[in-house]
């Protein structure tokens, strides 16, 4: 297994452009990772300005693979953003939150004892394919020039447009009630939080995204990524 490393970077890599895989830790923003890598490269090469951008955001409460584009590779960011993503994680049954994940407090509780692992596997199959999805109100998407999470924090109601997504694969890995372990491969722009919310509703219960880790972007794997310490 070949892991990406900043030690192997050369000044040629900076001039010509290169990608680097990073294993984003929990509670870091994607921009925190960009700043960390940029500063590390600036110190290594004693250069004041280095272009660094990420190809696809991960929420602070999610961990896993980020692709960073360095130098001239920043012009190719959209190509990496368009690649399918693979995630593993957990939904928590019987509760919902306004953000659809653990960022906000539980706002409603539901019965879930009636749900079996066969119910989960059958429902997961129904999500596979092309679907229309409504992003969560707690997201950075802009509406009328303002990010949705700002409307949410102001308790303002706003109509959120649905978008087309593609779920290539959705597997239930384990069920230790009320926690559902899953693996999903999906297109760019897919909100796993929204899947968690819809999943609970379709079970006549509720659920929210309890844990999330991105393991792959296209052919790139987190197993080859730099671990930030």
Cis peptide before 37 (omega within 30 of 0): no
Q: Please provide residue 71's backbone torsions phi and psi, each rounded to the nearest 5 degrees.
A: 60, -130
How would you class 76 by CB atoms within 10 Å of its CB: exposed for 0-12, middle for 13-18, buried for 19 or more? middle
CB neighbour list of residue 172: distance below 8 Å, 6 or more residues apart? 117, 120, 121, 124, 180, 181, 182
- Give the closest residue to 109 by CA, choosing from 93, 98, 92, 94: 94
Three-state helix/strand/coil letters over 141-207 = CEECCEEHHHHHHCCCCCCCCCEEEEEEEEEEEEEECCEEEEEEEECCCCCHHHHHHHHHHHCCCCE
- CA gap 37, 137 in Å, rounded: 30
SS3 66: strand
Catalytic residue among 59, 101, 119, 144: 59
CA distance 88 to 192: 10
CA neighbours within 13 Å on the CB side: how many for 22?
31
Q: Is residue 144 annotated as a catalytic residue, yes or no?
A: no
Residues annotated as catalytic (active site), given as ranges: 59
């Amino acid at each position: 297994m070949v892991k990406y490393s900043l030690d192997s970077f050369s000044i040629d890599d900076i001039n010509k452009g290169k990608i680097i895989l990073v294993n984003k830790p929990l509670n870091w923003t994607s921009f925190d990772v960009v700043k960390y890598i940029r500063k590390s490269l600036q110190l290594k090469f004693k250069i004041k300005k280095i272009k660094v951008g990420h190809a696809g955001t991960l929420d602070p409460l999610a961990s896993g693979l980020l692709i960073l584009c360095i130098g001239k590779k920043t012009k190719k960011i959209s190509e990496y953003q368009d690649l399918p993503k693979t995630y593993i994680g957990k939904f928590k049954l019987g509760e919902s939150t306004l953000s659809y994940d653990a960022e906000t407090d539980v706002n409603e509780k539901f019965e879930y004892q009636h749900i079996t692992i066969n119910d989960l596997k059958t429902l997961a199959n129904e999500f596979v394919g092309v679907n229309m999805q409504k992003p969560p109100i707690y997201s950075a998407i802009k509406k009328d020039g303002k990010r949705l999470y700002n409307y949410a924090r102001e308790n303002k109601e706003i109509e959120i447009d649905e978008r087309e997504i593609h779920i290539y694969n959705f597997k239930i890995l384990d069920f230790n009630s009320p926690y559902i372990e899953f693996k999903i491969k999906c297109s760019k722009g897919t909100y796993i939080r929204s899947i968690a919310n819809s999943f609970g509703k379709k079970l006549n219960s509720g659920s929210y995204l309890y844990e999330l880790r991105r393991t792959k972007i296209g052919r790139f794997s987190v197993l080859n990524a730099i671990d930030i310490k």
